[in-house]
Amino acid sequence: MAKRKRLTPANPSFLSSEEEAVKADLLPEDLETKGYPLGVARRPARAKPPIAQVAGEASAESALSELAESMRQARVEGRLVQVLALAEVDTGHLVRDRIFADEEELSALIESLRARGQQAPIEVVDRGEGQSPRYGLISGWRRLAALGRLAQEDAKFGRVLALVRAPKSASEAYVAMVEENEIRVGLSYYERARIAVKAVEQGVYPDLKAALNGLFANVSRAKRSKIKSFTQIVEVLDGQLRFPTAIGERLGLELAKRLEDPAGVDTLLGALSARSVATAQEEQACLTRALAPEKSRTEGQGARGAEAPAAKGAIDARFDAKARRISLEGPGVDADLLGDLRAWLQKRQG
């Protein structure tokens, strides 16, 4: 078979200007003209993306869009953990329910953070651009305080993990704070009562009943009633007591009952102002003596009553080992003796 010869157009000017623009390197050197009109070269096919590539790009864009929407929704709902500088968080945004942190517990938390880092985020509210600090603390005061101390030693502790919440109302923010402390570290009755009183003062709730029902909706009615009794102590003696969180349930209920009488208020205020106490036990002993019935009659009777009961008469003490009971009888047994015994027992059990 005869070898085919490569054909060229007889007249090069026959090609149009558009066709001349086609670069020679786009055409194979051994291109045959068989099947094509003479002098007409095959144009390069326009590149079109494969269907699979188009579908893949569309799927990737959809996934990215879905991820962005999920992140936005998580941020709005307060489910996205963010890293904030400690200086960006205002600890005084809400009136705190916890009056002070136990130093031993705080030291243990500091050591835990130093060894393992922050495991649970705090909760804050975004107060908006232009506010300084930008975020207000809702819950996590102890973690923030511990990180603050650690940051003085090492700058790497100068940031805190936080969930940016969006409470619908101030009352919702207060409930979040109280519930976290109830779960993690129980508050004293005084602290519970105090936050209810302060919430009313801040206008968060219209009255005390609404505050108690809103802040302590998950506790029993009996416990809520005891907290209400302690609110009387807060309203009268807040600022007068040095160790209010040490007041137990029994002593607190007795104080609340006495404070219902205006004369009892004067007696307690007088007793607290007349004595300088250095410990919680001393303060409770002072309150116990002031609660003795005869103390409310005349001012200063408590000091005389604190003298040795033997001056008023003999006392006969008996102990029943089987019943585990001590009985006191005699002319020297009176309300003053009872107050002194309670104070002594408080100190002994402390």
Q: What percent of the chain has pLDDT over 90?
A: 21
Q: Residue 171 and residue 282: Cα distance in Å, rounded? A: 37
For residue 136, give both structure tokens. Answer: 């207000």
Q: Is residue 63 part of a domain?
A: no
Residue 260 forms beta bridges with which residues? none
Specify the higher pLDDT residue, 88 or 80.
88
pLDDT tens-digit series, residues 270-308: 888 777 778 888 888 888 888 876 434 444 444 444 443
End position of a domain, from candidates 164, 186, 208? 186
Return the top range by mean pLDDT from 47-51, 67-71, 134-138. Answer: 134-138
Residue 15 in this model has a pLDDT that exceeds 90:
no
**Predicted local distance difference test score (pLDDT) of residue 135:** 92
Tell me the whole-structure pTM to 2 decimals. 0.54
**Secondary structure letter of residue 129 according to DSSP:** T
Averaged pLDDT, 235-256: 90
In terms of pLDDT, which residue wins out, 235 or 92?
235
What pLDDT does residue 47 have? 54
Tell me the C-alpha distance between 202 and 222, whole Å.
Answer: 26
In terms of average pLDDT, the best of 145-154, 309-318, 334-343 is: 145-154
- Using N-to-C axis directions, what is the helix angle for 335-349 and 280-290, rounded to 10°? 160
Phi and psi torsions of 300, nearest 5°: 95, -10
As a whole number, mean pLDDT of residues 99-126 equals 85
* 178 and 211 inside one domain: no
| Count of domains forming the chain | 3
- The C-alpha atoms of residue 167 and residue 127 are separated, in whole angstroms, by 11
Domain termination residue (choose one: 200, 229, 260): 260
Are 82 and 166 members of one domain? yes
Final residue in a domain of this structure, among 186, 221, 238: 186
**Residues 287 and 343 grouped into a single domain:** yes
* 310 shares its domain with 209: no
Position 316 confidence tier, pLDDT thresholds 50, 70, 90: confident
* One domain, residues 251 and 301: no
Whether residue 194 is found in the same domain as residue 237: yes
Task: Let me know whether 211 and 286 are in one domain.
Answer: no
| Range 46-66 burial, b when 16+ CB lie within 10 A, else e | eeeeeeeeeeeeeeeeeeeee
Strands lying side by side in the sheet with 159-165 = 81-85, 159-165, 122-126, 135-139, 89-90
Quote the CA–CA distance of 309 and 266 in Å, as a whole number. Answer: 26
Q: Which pair of tokens denotes residue 62?
A: 């959809």
Q: How far apart are CA 175 and CA 214, in angstroms?
A: 7
Token pair, residue 46, equals: 């326009």
Assess whether 88 and 145 both reside in one domain.
yes
- What is the residue range of 211's domain? 187-260
In a domain, 156, yes or no: yes
Contacts of 70 (CB under 8 A, 6+ apart): none
Confidence of residue 9 (pLDDT cuts 50, 70, 90): low
Same domain, 251 and 282: no
Pick from 164, 178, 171: nearest CA to 127: 164
Q: How confident is the model at residue 58 (pLDDT cuts 50, 70, 90)?
A: confident
Residue 117 lies in a domain: yes
Mean pLDDT for the chain overall = 77
Residue 94 lies in a domain: yes
Are both 78 and 123 inside the same structural domain? yes
Return the SS3 of 163.
strand
- In DSSP terms, 160 is beta-bridged to 84
